[in-house]
C-alpha cells in the first residue's frame, strides 16, 4: 500500500488504517493462529475490509516523493474532523486542523518556500504568502469545486480509505514470520515487484485484523506509515477568527 499520492501532493502523505488492542499469542503455534487455514491473500482481504469500516484513525510516518522526504503525524475521523502536522523537504513545518467543512493551515516560512517549487520566483511567492499570513491560519474550503485535489481531501476519511483500498496489494502475497509492532502481535504480509517491495503488518486478531504498519522499499515512493487510535474520535476546534485569513482573500491580496 502506497502513501496517498493526492495528499502527498497537497504537502503530506497519507494512506491506510490503524491498530487495535489484541490478546492473541505472538508465537507461530498453529493452534493459536487466528488465521490458520487462510492464505496470505485472504488475510489481506480481511484486513482491508475491516479497515474500510473504520470511523477514525491516526497515521504517522515518513516517505519520499519526487526524491524528497516528507513526514506526517495526522488524525482524522469520519465526521470531517482532522488535526496534525507535516514536515516538508526544506525543513519547514505546517500544522493543520479541519472541522465544519473547512481546513486551516499554519506554517513557517521554510514550509511555504519548499512547497512552492524551490526556484527563485516560487521562493518569492512563498515569502509573499508567509508575509500576508503573518503567523495566522490560512482557511481553505472546497467551495471552488477542487474535489479530490482540494483542501477537503485533508479531512476526508472515506477518500483516504478508498485510496488505501486501491493501493493495497491483495494478490500474490506471501505470509512471512510474525512480528511485533509497538507491542502488538502482527501477521506480516509482503509482495515484491520488479523494483519495489511492499510489506504490511496486520493485527493478529481474526475479529479486528486492522493494518498496523505499511513499509514500501524501492520504487519512486518508499516510506513507512504507522497507524493507531482506531475509531477514536478526533476533537478539534477551529482557530479564533482573528487568527484566520481566508484563502480566497489571500489570493486576491497577492494578485
pLDDT tens for the chain, 255 residues: list them: 444 443 333 323 332 322 232 333 344 444 489 999 999 999 999 998 998 899 999 999 998 877 778 899 999 999 999 999 998 876 789 999 999 888 899 998 888 877 655 454 456 777 777 888 888 998 887 654 444 555 567 788 988 888 878 877 888 999 999 999 999 999 999 999 888 999 999 999 999 999 999 999 988 889 999 999 999 999 999 999 999 988 776 666 555
Number of neighbouring beta carbons within 10 Å of residue 99: 18
**Read out DSSP for 119-181?**
SHHHHHHHHHHHHHHTTPEEEEESTT--GGGSGGGGG-HHHHHHHHHHHS--SS-EEEEEEEE
Total number of domains in the chain: 1
Domain boundaries, position 235: 5-254
Phi-psi domain of 145 (left: phi exceeds 0; alpha: psi -120 through 50; beta: other): left
Q: Cα 235 to chain center, whole Å?
A: 18
Q: How far is CA 244 from CA 87, 107, 119, 144, in A?
A: 21, 13, 28, 19
CB distance 6 to 196 below 8 Å: no
Q: Is the dihedral of CA 13, 40, 195, 213 positive or negative?
A: positive
Q: Pick from 168, 230, 153: which is nearest to 43 by CA? A: 168
Residue 48 belongs to domain with CATH number: 2.50.20.20
> Cα(230)–Cα(236) distance, rounded to whole angstroms?
17
pTM of the model: 0.77
Amino acid at each position: 500500500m502506497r502513501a496517498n499520492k493526492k495528499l502527498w501532493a497537497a504537502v503530506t502523505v497519507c494512506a491506510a488504517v490503524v491498530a487495535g488492542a489484541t490478546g492473541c499469542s505472538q508465537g507461530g503455534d498453529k493452534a493459536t493462529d487466528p488465521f490458520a487455514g487462510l492464505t496470505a491473500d485472504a488475510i489481506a482481504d480481511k484486513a482491508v475490509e475491516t479497515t474500510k469500516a473504520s470511523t477514525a484513525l491516526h497515521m504517522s510516518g515518513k516517505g519520499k516523493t519526487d526524491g524528497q522526504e516528507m513526514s506526517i503525524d495526522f488524525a482524522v475521523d469520519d465526521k470531517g474532523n482532522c488535526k496534525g502536522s507535516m514536515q516538508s523537504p526544506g525543513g519547514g513545518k505546517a500544522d493543520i486542523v479541519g472541522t465544519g467543512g473547512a481546513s486551516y493551515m499554519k506554517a513557517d516560512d521554510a514550509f511555504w518556500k519548499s512547497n512552492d517549487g524551490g526556484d527563485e520566483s516560487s521562493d518569492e511567492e512563498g515569502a509573499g504568502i508567509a508575509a500576508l499570513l503573518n503567523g495566522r491560519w490560512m482557511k481553505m474550503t472546497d467551495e471552488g469545486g477542487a474535489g479530490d485535489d482540494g483542501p477537503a481531501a485533508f479531512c476526508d476519511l472515506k477518500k483516504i480509505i478508498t485510496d488505501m483500498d486501491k493501493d493495497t496489494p491483495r494478490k500474490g502475497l506471501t505470509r512471512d514470520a510474525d512480528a511485533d509492532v509497538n507491542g502488538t502481535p502482527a501477521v506480516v504480509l509482503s509482495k515484491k515487484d520488479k523494483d519495489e517491495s511492499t510489506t504490511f503488518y496486520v493485527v493478529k486478531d481474526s475479529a479486528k485484523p486492522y493494518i498496523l504498519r505499511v513499509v514500501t522499499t524501492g520504487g519512486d515512493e518508499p516510506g513507512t506509515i504507522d497507524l493507531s487510535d482506531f475509531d477514536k474520535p478526533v476533537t478539534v476546534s477551529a482557530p479564533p477568527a482573528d487568527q484566520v485569513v481566508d484563502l480566497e482573500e489571500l489570493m486576491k491580496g497577492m494578485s
